Structure formats: structure tokens, C-alpha cells
Amino acid sequence: MSSQLLVVVLVIVIFVVKFAYTGLTCPTRHLPGPWYTRFTHYRLKRAVVTGQRIFYIDSLHKQYGPIVRLAPTEVGVADLNAFKEIHKIGTKYMKSDWYLRLANFPKPGVFTMLDPREHGPRRKLLSRSFSRTYLVENWESVVREKALLALTNIKADAMKGTADVYNWWMLLASDVSAHLAFGESFGMLEMGHANQFIRVLKKLTMGAGIMVEMPFLRLLRFVPVTSVQEMFNANDFILKGAGRAVEMARSRTGEANIFAKVIEDCEKEGDGHIDDMDVRIEAMNVIIAGTDTTGVTLTYLTWAVLQRPDLQAALEAETAGLDDGFKENDLINLPLLNAVIEETLRLYGAAPSSLPRVVPKGGTNFGGHYIPQGVTVDTQAYTFHRDPEIWIDPLTQVFNPQRWIASDKGVAEALSPAAKTAVSNIDL
Ligand code: HEM
């Protein structure tokens, strides 16, 4: 046998032995699921890189039930009581290291802190600036002004023929979140396009999402092509740009800035700690978290309503009753508007995929299945939001805002009684 052939045979033998060993010893081998998921995570990975992950996992739940093996150390969970246990306040289920691998910055931020002892204080520190009272008091007029500008632009484009609703909603969401994070307007709705900082930040986030699945693509950072550099090697540019958020927050000369408040709270209360790099990273997190989510949701909402002339007319009639100077408080009392928002979030929510968490010491028992410690459990909104066991209307796939106002008892009636008990006290 030639030496090359020997190497090939050896490699094949090593692979076969590794696969067999994984399949025989994997901690999820007793759980329901396709046989090959005992041996490899490549089928799941294929679903991820082809953009099919939520549909693949949903189809496995339909076939195998609420607890299904996705890979040797990864399990899909579509059971509401289990969801509550995993995501409740003070949970012992830590974020998986997927979040760490996603982190592209010099320090972890609120998204990528795995240890609850680190994550808890940071979240507490940021949450005051996101309280409803603080936001309404300090930011309502800014949001209102930008929303009006977005609508004026959509109307002007529509009068000319076609309005790119997605573009304007994305600019609205980027402008609001950038203003919150930096304390000054980026003026993108006025320009009609994103500025360089936002454009590169979005590319960098996309690059991070790609690299977390295919780490070898990190090598692309050495390719001297601007568009590739922006996606895989723009950290320095972005961190430098985010220095402006620190400047504005520390000087406190500009308009309201959520980080000026965070720093003030930190100094006043004496708990938590936030340095300049933390402010840069959290400012970018706010923009990343607030832009695509809100822009995409608003686009789906517009699309869902415009397809239903009756619904559009009813919504117009409801909002026609508002005074010109209406406030956020007045909108809370509009049942149809709120039902349309809830139903859009249910069917087209912008975060439908897994929120991976790790089973703590001692393992757990979900739906009669023991899951050992260290296994990653994935809960995905896409499946929960379409589960006929959870929603009172069996046509769960249909966009039906009425489900949220079907009873005079309020929106909670959209959920089945069992689901209502299970979802109480969930902390996302
Ligand atoms: C329709 C809009 C939105 C949706 C569907 C959404 C969804 C979510 C989900 C599912 C998580 C949990 C992520 C995980 O555990 O992996 C999350 C976390 C977070 N979101 Fe949003 N979000 C939206 C808008 C926003 C906005 C506008 C902001 C800020 C301006 C924001 C800031 C955050 C932050 C800071 C976290 C991390 C919280 C933590 O780890 O403690 N989100 N969001």
C-alpha cells in the first residue's frame, strides 16, 4: 500500500472511530430525534448556514415532540414549563458559549456575558435607562419627530409611485437607537440613507454571525478588499467611532443620552461598574439590538395590514379618533392597534430562533426526559408562537389580531389557560 493511500485510510478510520465513539457515548443518546444527530452536529450546521435552522428544528419538533435531540450535545425544547424554568428570573441556565464566540469586541457586554454574577449587575445598571417612565419622559418627542419624518418620506415616495417601506423603517429604527446610544441624531432619515458608521456596524455584525458558525472564515480579515475588511476586520473603526458615545455621555452637554444616565446612576448608587470601553460596547449593542429587530417588525406589520383592506380600514377608523397631539399613553388604549402589534410579533417576531442555554449541574427533567448537565437546550419562538396547544385559536398560522381582543378580559385571553400559567414570571 502506498504511503498516500495509507494516510487516506488512516484518516477515514479516525473519522469512523470518532463518529462511532460520539454516537455511543453522547449524553443525549437516549432522547428522541433522528439517528444521525447522535453522531454529528453537521446536519444542524447545514440548516444554519442555509438559513433553514428554525424550519428544520420546527419540523423535528413536529415529528419527535417537544424534546428533540438536534446534535450530540444540543437539544430542542418546545415545552412551555421547560421554557419558564430555563428563562425565569434568577435562572441557573447560563447562556451557552455561542454568545462568547459571537462577541467580536475586546470585552463582553450585556449580550455576551455568560456568568449571571457579571450579567445581573450590568443588566440592572442598563435597565433603569430602559424603564418606560424614563423613556416616555425623555425620549417620546425624539421618537415622535423621527416617526413623523419617516412617514412623510414614505408618503412622498408613494405619491411618486413606489415607497421602499423597509428602507424607511430601518432608517427610523437606526436613527432612534443611534440617538439613544450616542445622545445626538445621526440624521439618516434626513439623508435618506445610513451613514458609514451604521453601514459598517451592520456588516461587522453580519460577519460575526458568519464567523461564529464557520470560524475558518476569520482568515478573510487578511483579504485587502474594502467590502471584505468592513465585514471581518472593522472592529477598530467601529470602536473608534463609538468613542463619540463616551464623549457625549461623559460631557453631559448634549441632549439626553442613556449612557449619561447609566454613568450617573453608577456613580450615585455606587453599584455596578462601567468604564469607557463598556460604554462603547453597550452603545453598539443598543444599535445592533434595536435596529433590525424594530425595522423588520414594522415592515411585516405594514405588509400584514396592507394585505387586508378591512383590517386597514378598521385600524384607520380607530386611530382617526386620536387628537393631533396624541401621546404614547393614548395609544395604549387602542385595542386593535395593540392587537395588530402583538399578532405581528407572534407570527413575524424578529428573534424567532434558538436562545441557547446550558443545563446546570445535576441535570434536569423536561417533559419526562432526563437531560444531563452541560447539554445545550434551545428554545425557539418560531415553534412556541405556532403551537396549537398554546393558542386558543387552532388556526395558529393565520394572522388574526382578533385573538388578542376576542374577550372583554383583555389580551391574555389569546393564550390557553395552561399556557397562561406557564408563561408567568418569564424573564427574557
Ligand atoms: C421587535 C423588536 C425586538 C425584539 C423581537 C427583541 C427580541 C429580543 C430577544 C428575544 C432577546 C433575548 C436574546 C437572547 O437571550 O439571546 C433580546 C435581548 C435584548 N434586547 Fe431586544 N428585541 C427587540 C428590540 C430591542 C430594542 C429596540 C432594544 C434597544 C434599544 C433591544 C435591546 C436588547 C438588549 C440590550 C438585550 C440583551 C438583554 C440581556 O441579555 O440581558 N431590543 N431582545
- The structural domains of the chain, with segments of one domain joined by +, span 124-307
In angstroms, rounded to a whole number, what is the distance separating the alpha carbons of residues 91 and 355? 14
| pLDDT over 70, % of the chain | 93
- Which atom of ligand 1 lies closest to the CA of 181? 30
Instruction: Yes or no: say if 358 and 375 are a contact pair by the CB < 8 Å rule.
Output: yes
pLDDT band at 3 (very low <50, low <70, confident <90, very high): confident
CA distances from 9 to 17, 19, 107 (A): 12, 15, 44
Q: Give pLDDT tens digits for 149-162.
A: 999 999 999 999 99
CA distances from 237 to 102, 158, 176, 197, 280 (A): 18, 36, 22, 8, 12
Q: Is 110 in the pocket of ligand 1 (CB under 6 A)?
A: yes
The predicted pLDDT at position 323 comes to 92
Q: Is 352 in the pocket of ligand 1 (CB under 6 A)?
A: no
Quick one: residue 33, left, alpha or beta (phi over 0 = left, psi -120 to 50 = alpha)? left
Q: Is 177 in the pocket of ligand 1 (CB under 6 A)?
A: yes
- Take atom 28 of ligand 1 and give the residue whose Cα is closest: 290
Instruction: Yes or no: say if 387 and 396 are a contact pair by the CB < 8 Å rule.
Output: yes
State residue 32 phi and psi, 5-degree precision. -65, 150
Instruction: Specify burial of residue 273 (Cβ count, 10 A radius: 0-12, 13-18, 19+).
Output: exposed
Best substitution site from 172, 286, 296, 428 to test ligand 1's pocket, by max atoms within 8 Å of Cβ? 428
- Rounded to an integer, the average pLDDT of 284-304 is 95
In angstroms, rounded to a whole number, what is the distance separating the alpha carbons of residues 390 and 394? 9
Best substitution site from 125, 170, 201, 293 to test ligand 1's pocket, by max atoms within 8 Å of Cβ? 293
pLDDT at 285 over 60: yes
Angle, helices 276-306 vs 196-213, to 10°: value is: 90
Say which CATH architecture domain 124-307 belongs to.
Orthogonal Bundle (1.10)
| Dist. CA 351 → ligand 1 center (Å) | 8
- Which atom of ligand 1 lies closest to the CA of 123? 41
- Take atom 34 of ligand 1 and give the residue whose Cα is closest: 289
pLDDT band at 194 (very low <50, low <70, confident <90, very high): very high
Q: Is 379 in the pocket of ligand 1 (CB under 6 A)?
A: no
- Take atom 26 of ligand 1 and give the residue whose Cα is closest: 290
Instruction: Yes or no: say if 373 and 359 are a contact pair by the CB < 8 Å rule.
Output: yes
- Take atom 20 of ligand 1 and give the residue whose Cα is closest: 289
- Rounded to an integer, the average pLDDT of 12-37 is 92
Q: Which three cell numbers stand for residue 205?
A: 455584525
Q: Is 111 in the pocket of ligand 1 (CB under 6 A)?
A: yes
Least confident of 200-204, 212-216, 422-426: 422-426
| Dist. CA 289 → ligand 1 center (Å) | 6
pLDDT at 255 over 70: no
Q: Which three cell numbers stand for residue 132?
A: 418606560
- Rounded to an integer, the average pLDDT of 190-219 is 90
Q: Give pLDDT tens digits for 384-410.
A: 999 999 988 878 889 999 888 866 554
pLDDT, averaged across the chain: 90
Q: Is 135 in the pocket of ligand 1 (CB under 6 A)?
A: no
pLDDT at 336 over 50: yes
In angstroms, rounded to a whole number, what is the distance separating the alpha carbons of residues 384 and 428? 15
In angstroms, rounded to a whole number, what is the distance separating the alpha carbons of residues 370 and 198? 45
Helix or strand or coil: residue 292?
A: helix
In angstroms, rounded to a whole number, what is the distance separating the alpha carbons of residues 29 and 24? 7
DSSP string, 61-116: HHHH-SEEEEETTEEEE--HHHHHHHHBTT-S-EEPTHHHHH--SSS--TTT--SH
- Take atom 14 of ligand 1 and give the residue whose Cα is closest: 355
Q: Which H helix or E strand runs over 163?
A: none
Q: Give pLDDT tens digits for 83-140.
A: 999 999 889 999 999 998 887 788 899 999 998 888 988 998 898 889 999 899 999 9
The predicted pLDDT at position 428 comes to 43
Of 125, 105, 130, nearest in space to 281 by CA: 105
Q: Is 364 in the pocket of ligand 1 (CB under 6 A)?
A: no
pLDDT band at 252 (very low <50, low <70, confident <90, very high): low
**CA 160 and chain centroid, separation:** 35
Q: Where are the alpha helices (DSSP H) in 307-320?
A: 309-320
